[in-house]
Amino acid sequence: MDLEAALGEFLSYLAVERGASANTVEAYGRDLRRYVAYLAGRGVTAPGEVSRADVEDYLAELSSLGLAPASLERALSSAKSFHRFMVAEQIAPSQPTADVPLPKKPRRLPDVLTIDQAARLLDQPFPPTPAGARDRAILEVLYGCGLRASELCALDVSSLLPEEGLVRVWGKGGKERVVPLLGTAAGAVSSYLASGRPSLDRSGACAALFLNVRGTRISRQSVHAICERYGRLAGIEGLHPHTLRHSFATHLVEGGADLRVVQELLGHSSIQTTQIYSHVDRTHVRWDYLTAHPRARG
């Protein structure tokens, strides 16, 4: 079996046995097709012929093309997964990427809104139309529940548990979690269901919670555009749905929420992923100290 055939087997394994999403399989395929094409250009087509030098040269070439550290890390991570699969399936005898270190990427704190900015965004006047009611509900849910754009788009009306004040969310890898839907977010969704969604649901048969003007499930691209448009109206340029997710987590931590609770609400499989918000919180505490303590600037 050559590398091309092995790649096909690996992508099928991800989709069927691992239950990876179509987006995940597509991303792996994109990275690994480039990797396999590079190896073929060096005359390496058999799984057992790949050496550590081949892998290191591949990363060096990607780096010379100007790929960011995060993209290099993803490329190597994809190659490592591919080679682990080939060894496990006895397609290749060894793992040439086993001790190749991941390139270090600079740790960057996520962009977050201040509480005042979040209030300006959500308290601004929305158009008195079905789409306006929908847009307000979308922004309230992104900030009030900390959802990814893809998770929000995947919500159905049946995902809502209004009596319990909860919403059922399907995250990465098909993992289900339940998140509180309370306060102004719950109010915005209730108003949208009463006065917005019935007008958008032309067929009366769409299960999706958030609909576009054609009466079908809203797309991630539309959610991004909604965030940018209302962010600009509130004086916040380049607002992204993930900024609202980061703001949700940061404001919870700043308000005293336990990091394990925030981890569960965000759907992170590892607490290490959530640790970034403890760093954000320490930055907030330091700023409060500097501005409030009479001798802090000594």
Write out pLDDT tens, residues 262-280. 898 998 877 777 777 766 6
Domains of the chain by range and CATH? 3-88 (1.10.150.130), 115-241 (1.10.443.10)
Closest by CA to 214, choosing from 194, 197, 200, 199, is 200
Write out pLDDT tens, residues 92-143. 999 998 888 766 655 565 688 999 999 999 999 999 999 999 999 999 999 9
Kindly list the distances between the CA atom of residue 288 and the CA atoms of 59, 108, 244, 278, 284, in Å, as whole numbers in the listed order. Answer: 43, 21, 22, 15, 6
Q: How far apart are CA 201 and CA 130, in angstroms?
A: 10
Catalytic residues: 148, 172, 242, 245, 268, 277
Contact 37, 58 (CB under 8 A): no
Predicted local distance difference test score (pLDDT) of residue 239: 95
Give pTM, 2 decimals. Answer: 0.62
Closest by CA to 146, choosing from 181, 183, 122, is 181
Contact 184, 172 (CB under 8 A): no
